[in-house]
Structure 1
């Protein structure tokens, strides 16, 4: 299936320019509630730990290979671990989690 994005990720990993969160994903089958999450490992030996936001950052400082947000409990600004890499080959898909998300009805 040449237009299958899911299959492309399994074959070739990710392209950072195409990364989107689940909130921005669009289903080619609007009647389906099925979603997929890729569980990935990140290749990072020297993360630059950041305590504040820097939305215009395009790469870590010299000597680092990624940017890691410091958690609230350690004096940072995020609740959950968060890391940003700027190289496609640093993201390694290792598993797929399939789940159903039903529409919210008030």
Structure 2
């Protein structure tokens, strides 16, 4: 990984407990928030659309990350992370590359750049190494 290019980026995911009220972690494997706090980010194979392949997705725009927040507990608030991410040397693109398992040769990450045709409205940073990001803050909002 290329040293440097550390950035702060948002990540939205699912919550299945009342961590925003109690401050207590749950033991449910369905609660991605508590799993990330306990174990860090993990790259999983998924059936969901992944514009830039199998990786960890972050954005500088909180409303972009909010699109991925799932509240599975009937809570009256939502939660997302603000993270330290090491972007390194980023490959910038506007096209979809759904089959990626790692960034193109010579790069450390992929940045989806918003384009004028509207297929991507907000930036996305995709990391392919679990050790390149650290959740720093859990943000609860209504």
Question: Do the structures match in fold with TM over 0.5?
Answer: yes
Distance in structure 2 (CA, Å) of the matches to 1:62 and 1:76: 28
Residue 65 of structure 1: CA displacement? 1.0
What is residue 50 of structure 1 aligned with on the other side?
Answer: 93
Residue 69 of structure 1: CA displacement? 1.3
Runs ≥4 residues deviating over 6 A: none
Gaps of 5+ in 2: 1-25, 47-55, 58-67
Residue 72 of structure 1: CA displacement? 2.6
TM-score, L = length of structure 1:
0.70
Distance in structure 1 (CA, Å) of the matches to 2:107 and 2:133: 16
Alignment deviations for residues 17-61 of structure 1 (CA, whole Å, 9 cap, x no partner): 177922xx351x23x222111111211211111131112222111
What is residue 85 of structure 1 aligned with on the other side?
Answer: 127
- The 1:76/1:86 distance shift into structure 2, 3 A limit, reads farther
Distance in structure 2 (CA, Å) of the matches to 1:7 and 1:63: 34
Taking only aligned residues, the RMSD between alpha carbons, in angstroms, comes to: 2.8
What is residue 136 of structure 2 aligned with on the other side?
Answer: 94
- Secondary structure, in 3 states, of the residue corresponding to 2:37? helix
What is residue 14 of structure 2 aligned with on the other side?
Answer: none
What is residue 11 of structure 1 aligned with on the other side?
Answer: 38
Do 1:36 and 1:96's aligned partners in 2 also have CA atoms closer than 8 Å? yes
